[in-house]
Amino acid sequence: MSTSQIVFGAASFEVASHGQVSKIGAGYIFSGPELEILHKMNNPEFYRHGWNSWSPTGWRKITEKPLKIYGNPLRLLTADDSQHFHEGLHAGSGVGALSDINGKVLLVGALTVGNNVIIADEEKITAQQGNSPSEWFVSYGEETEVFKEYANLLQQRFEIKIKESGPVWSSWYTFFEDISEKNLLDTIDELATFPIDVIQIDDGWETNIGDWSANTKFPNGMAHMADYIRSKGKTPGIWLAPLICLPNSKIATEHPDWILKDESGTPVVAGYNWETIYFTFDSTLQEVKQYLHSLFEEITSWGFKYFKLDFMYAGALPGVRSVQIDREQAYREAMQTIRHAVGDDSYLLGSGIPMIASLGIFDGARVGPDTAPYWDNTERREDPSGPGAWNSICNSLNRYWMSGLYQTDPDATFFRSRQNLLDTNSKTLLKQVAQIMGFRSFSDPIAWLSEEEIQELIIFLNTSPKIKQKGRYLFEIDSEIIDFADVVFPKKRISDFILLK
């Protein structure tokens, strides 16, 4: 590696790198497999960016315990890049940053797809490429400015033109998998007069994970559901996890050769949910690409125009593929196939997506773990990716800088008091975060809401306030200033009290 000096006004840093360096705006672009910058900061904070939608993202002091998922290997496999756990180190995916005591930030961000990793310690911040040639953006300055510069470059590189969706009703955070034609038709009737754009059917309609046909709870099939939603003037939306399958699914049994394997020929365990492990596909196989294309042509022909595609990271896991390409590149090709099949006028919302590798393909992206009708859960103290309103708020606000790259979805807001442990203040925080992030969704059935709750919902659906970021967690919503600093770093965890109640 050769060393060079990068200069930002009065500040300068020594960089060791392999390749070319050039100046761009206020920052620099480096190419090459690795970059090492001596930061000369005294106990800075490190911005850890998690690999997929659900992965822990936020700031921790270099002397603090690194922000990660601890003590839950199966969750780690699903909700982060378990390949790059880097025991004991502050490490993240794609982009990382250090914040000095004077509030200035040194940012290193990948401009290319390919499992790029950022690691920081008390002396340096290091960027390492995966299996594809990498380019890095490096800048130093005001925090919101350097993140903006990086986001602008990504926007240009990935030719991002986001389509915006209006408010969404999703079946998940009320009914979970317990949905049926009967209960959804009733719910759709009640939603008909409300100012929402999309009615999205979540997990629970399919025969099995991997077998994407209607199960017996939907006797008239999914095209009937789409027609019904459209007849009420709403856009039909549907959930599926097209890149994974359960071991007992028809597709896994009929096409064992499609399943991604490791070097020993054993199927790669792609994650754990639905009380089982699950597999993913080798999407570099022509047959798999054809399968994905016809699957999405079929679901589009049922009348769906809004797709919540979930557990997508699985397509970018390590494994032996028929074509030797970087795992994130393989995933991206699979996604391009899907985008081609649904057409440019369909809305793609990604959940569990690798955040950098999905740029320019998805319109919307979940930017945090699942919310829940409760604030926190002490059972998994060491898992910031577990469901809960607090975890979803923290992760989402720490990804505010991505809001020009995707329509950033912080997950559902709640208006109901029925089946809900969230107090009024927590519900207000969720609403404000949805307004800040620019994506409004909810799952409450209208029949569960009081008159007053219905009024609050209508106001929420009808307003898109002007947002200004004034500081890391300081936002102006229209003219109201809201500081989330004490929410993200509370003096005491509120779940302690909930469990004692």
Annotated catalytic sites, by residue?
310, 370
**Helix (H, G, I), strand (E, B), or coil: what is residue 457?**
helix
Report how far apart, in Å, the C-alpha atoms of 194 and of each of 171, 220, 435 are.
Answer: 16, 25, 18
Residue nearest to ligand 9PG (CB): 203
Closest CA to 358 of 394, 324, 325, 334: 334
| CA angle, 229 then 241 then 406, to 5° | 75
Footprint on this chain of ligand 9PG (rule: CB under 6 A) = 54, 75, 78-79, 172, 202-203, 239, 273, 310, 351, 370, 385
424-437 and 389-397 helices, crossing angle to 10°: 30
Q: How far is the CB of 261 from ligand 9PG (least distance, A)?
A: 22
Nearer to ligand 9PG, 78 or 396 (CB): 78
The set of residues, in sequence order, having a beta carbon less than 8 Å from that of 33 and lying 6+ positions away, is 18, 128, 129, 133, 134
Q: How far is the CB of 342 from ligand 9PG (least distance, A)?
A: 18
Q: How far is the CB of 78 from ligand 9PG (least distance, A)?
A: 4
Nearer to ligand 9PG, 188 or 244 (CB): 244
Q: How far is the CB of 94 from ligand 9PG (least distance, A)?
A: 19
Q: How far is the CB of 383 from ligand 9PG (least distance, A)?
A: 9
Tokens at residue 248, please?
């007992």
Nearer to ligand 9PG, 74 or 325 (CB): 74
**Calpha distance 205→158 (Å, rounded):** 34
What is the sign, positive or negative, of the torsion defined by CA atoms of 242, 247, 249, 252?
positive
Tokens at residue 483, please?
């500081």
Nearer to ligand 9PG, 150 or 175 (CB): 175
Tell me, letter by letter, the H, E, C secondary structure of 132-198: CCCEEEEEEEEHHHHHHHHHHHHHHHCCCCCCCCCCEEECHHHHCCCCCHHHHHHHHHHHCCCCCCE
Q: Which amino acid is at 155?
A: Q
Nearer to ligand 9PG, 79 or 225 (CB): 79
Nearer to ligand 9PG, 172 or 281 (CB): 172
Q: How far is the CB of 274 from ligand 9PG (least distance, A)?
A: 7
- Residue carrying the six token digits 């005491």: 492
**Helix (H, G, I), strand (E, B), or coil: what is residue 241?**
coil
